[in-house]
Amino acid sequence: MWGQNLRPICDADRSALSGPVIFNLTYDSISQTGIILFWATDSPADSKVWWMKSDSNYQPLIFTDSIYLSEAVKNHIVPVGNLQPATIYNYLVASGNGKVIVIDSGFFINLPTSSTRKYQATCHYLMSFI
């Protein structure tokens, strides 16, 4: 009969198969050549960051650089350096507990070479009424 071999997963089984949960992924200290990435996990885990210069939409992501920190922590702080000014980067962060790895991602833009230049984003909304 269908479902005959199914059994409920008890909490002990679930904890053996689950990895840490990543939350509060953010960044700070953006400069012309670097950035610091921050995230938290609900249980101690290692830290890995991959990054690449953004190519164009719908192209395969091939991360060219990475940093690995093996210390198991809950609050992850990873400085990334040797970046090019005024460049968009995609990044991927991962944390694992030896059994399961969890991943989150995002992008950032480094500062331009001229620190006196200021940029302002403006949004324009077009509305049509019929």
Those residues with Cβ within 8 angstroms of residue 66's Cβ, 6 or more apart along the chain or in another chain? 48, 49, 50, 51
- Confidence (pLDDT) at 47: 94
Q: How many CA atoms lie within 13 A of 123 on its CB side?
A: 2
For the purposes of burial, counting CB atoms within 10 Å of the CB of 15, is it exposed (0-12), middle (13-18) or buried (19 or more)? exposed
With beta carbons less than 8 A apart as the criterion, state whether 95 and 106 touch.
Answer: no
Q: Going from the N-terminus, what domains does the chain have, and what CATH number goes with each?
A: 11-109 (2.60.40.10)
pLDDT tens string 2-48 = 334 444 444 444 455 577 889 899 999 999 999 999 999 999 999 99
Q: Are 11 and 31 in contact (CB under 8 A)?
A: no
Nearest C-alpha neighbor of 84 from the set 22, 14, 35, 36: 35
pLDDT (tens digit per residue) in 100-109: 788 888 888 8
| Residue in the block written with tokens 């509060």 | 24
Its pTM stands at 0.70
Which among 84, 123, 87 has a CA at the least distance from the CA of 107?
87
Question: Which band of pLDDT confidence, cut at 50, 70 and 90, is reported for residue 75?
Answer: very high
